[in-house]
Amino acid sequence: MHQQARPYGRSDNDFLGDKARGERVERAVAAMLMSYGLSVEVVEKGTRDRFEDRARFSDDGLDLLVEGMPVQVKGRFGYAFSNVATFPFETARLDSQYGWDRHHDKVVAYLLASGRGSGVVAATTPWRGVVVSTSVDPTRGGAIREFVDIPRDHLMDIGPFVAWIRKVNEEP
């Protein structure tokens, strides 16, 4: 079983609600990482007041700068997990194929944040075990789309992620 994309409407109100929720998740993840003593900056994405504006702000894929390194944050709303052991799926959905193609070479990690818990798990470079799956995307009117997933056993808990990013930051 793998994670399904979360459905949302296409109205401006739905979009703004999802945008606000995503920004809250980014701030919560930033606060968690700062509690470990990491330097974290939430990247300002500018104003997006309508659903149609979303593409103008999605090119860089940056949500956080952690120790100066770009990180993508993905809220996994509707799912509860506190660590890798409690992640509820065999694979973790990192991004759509479209988003992956635009972002994976610009970020050092994807952080997946539980929408119904306090858990955060990480997938980091080098990208190992990444697979492409095809499923219905309810956010795009039920279109069949490709997604990039990673096996659960290639994820890491927040403590090992903190150690990993510190080590990577020290490398020349």
Kindly report, residue by residue over 105-131, the tens digit of the pLDDT: 889 999 999 976 678 999 998 888 889
* Greater pLDDT, 2 or 67: 67
Instruction: Name the percent of the chain lying above pLDDT 70.
Output: 75
- What residues does each domain of the chain span? 12-170
Class level of CATH domain 12-170? alpha beta
**69-76 and 109-114 beta bridge pairing:** parallel
Q: What is the pLDDT of residue 70?
A: 93
pTM of the model: 0.81
Instruction: Name the percent of the chain lying above pLDDT 90.
Output: 42
> Comparing C-alpha atoms, which of 135, 127, 134, 168 is closest to residue 151?
127
